[in-house]
Amino acid sequence: MTQNPLVVIKLGGELLTDASKRHDMAVAIGRLTASTDLVVIHGGGREIDTELATRGCAKQAFDGLRLTDAETLEVVVNILAGRINTQLVAAAKHAGVRAVGLTATDAGVSTVCRAEPYTTSTGTTVDLGFVGQPTGSGKPDLLRRLCDDRFIPIVASIGSDDTGQLLNVNADTLAGHLAIQLKATRLLIAGGTAGVLDQEGQTIPAVNKFLLQQLIADGRASAGMVAKLIACGEAARSGVSRVEIVDGRQTDDLNNTKGTRIDIHEPAN
Ligand SMILES: Nc1ncnc2c1ncn2[C@@H]1O[C@H](COP(=O)(O)OP(=O)(O)O)[C@@H](O)[C@H]1O
Ligand SMILES: [Mg+2]
């Protein structure tokens, strides 16, 4: 059976912090789904940071991957799978879009295992705690089925391992993996910047595999941008034909967003 073209869009936490932003995004998503199947993944870093600060917990992150101890995990799960996911589904409903909220754990949509100690772009190795890494062996067919039935799945980036332990998965990493597994035609990483920026703050229009490595190695891309570039590089290498890191603050037309295209063409062999 031929499958409809499918777009995976990841929404950065900065884009979802108030009701009017969520409404604009829900309307934009509704428009996009008129021309394609759509799976939405969301983060929520800004609100998680605020909640952690209220509790007096320090934030530590490496290349956008959050060090997640037991208390941080509780905050991450409550805010992502609880508040933000439900608010986004409600905003979609208000915008006339039939969305279904779920996590990566639902129906084994993405299997994750506890991440191996992570070696950062600056060479330090850290144990990230309750952080999950998608294994690539998940069964995302529920997402396809929801799309076939004209629902939009909205996925909070929480997974669980085979012991039932909940794990915090970076939303860009999850979006990249789901795009590959769903054989998406497009991966759209929408965030709070006009794509990948150079030292002058200008958008870099296209990134090939050499520039991608350079940006990470020389620190022009840091923090959360490292996770985005790695996820996009993997998706592009694995056959997702259109991969972009774009400005999600512009919601007029998600088909024509300002940002950076990740152009990685592996020679066919
Ligand atoms: N070269 C770069 N271009 C754009 N943003 C960058 C770059 N290097 C680092 N960043 C940082 O990465 C952040 C985006 O990642 P993150 O904070 O994880 O947001 P999100 O919620 O969208 O995942 C930007 O807000 C910016 O602070
Ligand atoms: Mg991030």
pLDDT digits (tens, 9 = 90+) for 198-213: 999 999 999 999 999 9
Ligand in closest contact with the CA of 193: 1
Q: How far is the CA of 63 from the centre of ligand 2 (A)?
A: 9
Total number of domains in the chain: 1
Instruction: Return the residue whose CA atom lies nearest to atom 16 of ligand 1.
Output: 224
Average pLDDT over residues 54-65: 93
In a domain? residue 197: yes
Pocket test for ligand 1, best of 11, 49, 193, 212 (most atoms within 8 A of CB): 193
With a pLDDT cut of 70, the percent of the chain lying above it is 98
What are the backbone angles phi and psi of residue 244, rounded to the nearest 5°? -140, 145
pLDDT band at 138 (very low <50, low <70, confident <90, very high): confident
Domain that holds residue 36: 6-262
In a domain? residue 269: no
- Model confidence at 61: pLDDT above 60: yes
pLDDT tens digits, one per residue of 233-247: 999 999 999 999 999
Report yes or no: 215 and 196 within 8 Å, Cβ to Cβ.
yes
In a domain? residue 267: no
In a domain? residue 72: yes
Tokens of 44: 């929520």
Across 148-185, b (16+ Cβ under 10 Å) vs e yields: eeebbbbbbbbbbbeeeebbbbbbbbbbbbbbbbbebb
22: domain CATH number is 3.40.1160.10
